[in-house]
Amino acid sequence: MPDRYDVLVIGAGAAGLMCAATAGQRGLRVLLVEHANRPGKKILMSGGGRCNFTNTGTAPECFLSANPHFCKSALARYTPWDFIAMVERHGIAYHEKELGQLFCDVSSKLVVRMLLDECEAAGVELRIGCSVERVVHGDGGRFSLHTSQGRFSASALVVATGGLSIPSMGASGFGYDLARQFSHAVLPTRAGLVPLTLSGRPREQLEGLSGVSLPVAASCNGTTFRNAMLFTHRGISGPAILQISSYWQPGDRLLLDLLPGQDAHAVLEHARAERPAAELRTVLGDLLPRRFAQRLCEGWLSQLQPSRPMRQFTPAQLQEVAGLLAAWPLVASGTEGYRTAEVTLGGVDTDGISSRTMQSLSVPGLYFIGEVLDVTGWLGGYNFQWAWASAHAAGTAVCSD
């Protein structure tokens, strides 16, 4: 006979820990199983080791999903302020970086410790290094987990197995397989918040710039992010690129405004009036990182002879340079993939899930929460906020029979 619980939660990551604690606090008997050798591995590595645990500017518009309305209910009922209250209750010091992003002052370990303490206080049983071999949905609607540590059954099963990014941290496609087992649709998955790679001519033209960064406004498919861009050995990264990568599909062209917030044409006109003898390449070298400006001149602007003094440029030519600075086109060849991606786009189709409870609409007692669902946040604490909010929605809704 399997050990009996009220709720089984698969995956002790951000969402699984939160859901287990929430359900346990309601007096339910909860088992949380994790196949990795420790819980919350992604929390530990997040935010450069300081966990960007939420964003005070969280809004449904900050999430990508085939159904942009799906995330609204859970986000409204468990807000960043609810999580902040828990963080403060546990005495964890934090600070705000740009744009409402909240980070621990000391270490991400404190967030994992907090969630484990919440689970412990709620009587949650946690099994680490526990591999789920199969899930059986038996007569009477109970779920039975066959694992490397025995058999467990419950009337509610919460799938919190996350996405595919960083397989070395325990990421697996198990949640998607489970969804398919129960006839749930899984939308195509791809890496998000990920560096982009370049190949061919742009790669050659930008060779050797690794480490150079500059502020840009990166646009793709009608969405724009203004932040830093960084050249890497294989392509481009930095927050602006990670953000836009979630909107990029193979073959799409990026447009990069290299003087964000400035009118490039006015800047160049001003330079011509003030420094008529200065060469265009010198002026660009003052506006942009010098080595990058040099590559722009050698490649994209070579036909305009950028070693000429500013006074020799016609208004139409300056307009052409301004056009390039305002919308530098770059075609990425791919992404760095799940090995480095922070998130997985796509996943369990929200059409089959209740947005209020995260429960399957077709299989009573089956829940999906966190990143395994087709809900993906921007960079900046939004993905954890989705994990907390969806987990809280399920944790308050699960029943014992």
Ligand X SMILES: Cc1cc2nc3c(=O)[nH]c(=O)nc-3n(C[C@H](O)[C@H](O)[C@H](O)COP(=O)(O)OP(=O)(O)OC[C@H]3O[C@@H](n4cnc5c(N)ncnc54)[C@H](O)[C@@H]3O)c2cc1C
Note whether 352 binds ligand X by CB under 6 A.
Answer: no
Note whether 65 binds ligand X by CB under 6 A.
Answer: no
Q: Of the two residues 11 and 365, which places its CB atom closer to ligand X in the complex? A: 11
Q: Of the two residues 258 and 375, which places its CB atom closer to ligand X in the complex? A: 375
Note whether 14 binds ligand X by CB under 6 A.
Answer: yes
Nearest to 147 by CA among 6, 8, 348: 8
Contact 26, 120 (CB under 8 A): no
Nearest to 318 by CA among 348, 363, 273, 361: 273
Q: Closest distance between ligand X and the C-beta of residue 132, in Å? A: 5
Stretch near ligand X under the rule CB under 6 A, chosen from 46-54, 65-73, 266-274, 301-309: 46-54
3-state secondary structure of 396: helix
Q: Of the two residues 243 and 383, which places its CB atom closer to ligand X in the complex? A: 383
Note whether 383 binds ligand X by CB under 6 A.
Answer: yes
Nearest to 232 by CA among 206, 250, 202, 204: 206
CB atoms within 10 A of CB 388: 29
Residue 124 φ/ψ region, left for φ over 0, alpha for ψ in the -120 to 50 degree band, beta for the rest:
beta
Note whether 172 binds ligand X by CB under 6 A.
Answer: yes
Among 24, 47, 192, 239, binds ligand X (CB under 6 A): 47
Among 5, 6, 8, 13, binds ligand X (CB under 6 A): 13
Total residues contacting ligand X by CB under 6 A comes to: 37
Note whether 374 binds ligand X by CB under 6 A.
Answer: no
Report the sign of the C-alpha dihedral through residues 191, 196, 198, 202, in that order: positive
Q: Of the two residues 128 and 327, which places its CB atom closer to ligand X in the complex? A: 128
Among 196, 236, 343, 389, binds ligand X (CB under 6 A): 343
* Alpha helix (H) residue ranges in 155-248: 174-181, 200-205, 239-245
Q: Closest distance between ligand X and the C-beta of residue 252, in Å? A: 23
Note whether 239 binds ligand X by CB under 6 A.
Answer: no
Q: Of the two residues 155 and 390, which places its CB atom closer to ligand X in the complex? A: 390
Note whether 34 binds ligand X by CB under 6 A.
Answer: yes
Q: Counting beta carbons within 10 angstroms of the beta carbon of residue 30, is it exposed (0 to 12), middle (13 to 18) or buried (19 or more)?
A: buried
The whole-angstrom separation of Cα 360 and Cα 346 is 17
- Residue with token string 């040099």: 294
- Residue with token string 């859970």: 74
Note whether 280 binds ligand X by CB under 6 A.
Answer: no
Report the sign of the C-alpha dihedral through residues 381, 384, 388, 394, in that order: positive
CA atoms lying within 13 Å on the CB side of residue 156: 27
Residues 94-153 binding ligand X (CB under 6 A) are 132
Nearest to 131 by CA among 36, 45, 262: 36
Note whether 166 binds ligand X by CB under 6 A.
Answer: yes
Note whether 370 binds ligand X by CB under 6 A.
Answer: yes
The whole-angstrom separation of Cα 148 and Cα 169 is 19
Note whether 371 binds ligand X by CB under 6 A.
Answer: yes
Among 7, 8, 9, 11, binds ligand X (CB under 6 A): 11
Q: Closest distance between ligand X and the C-beta of residue 343, in Å? A: 5
Q: Which residues bind ligand X (CB under 6 A)?
A: 10-16, 33-36, 41-42, 45-47, 51-52, 132, 160-162, 165-166, 170, 172, 174, 342-343, 370-372, 381-384, 387
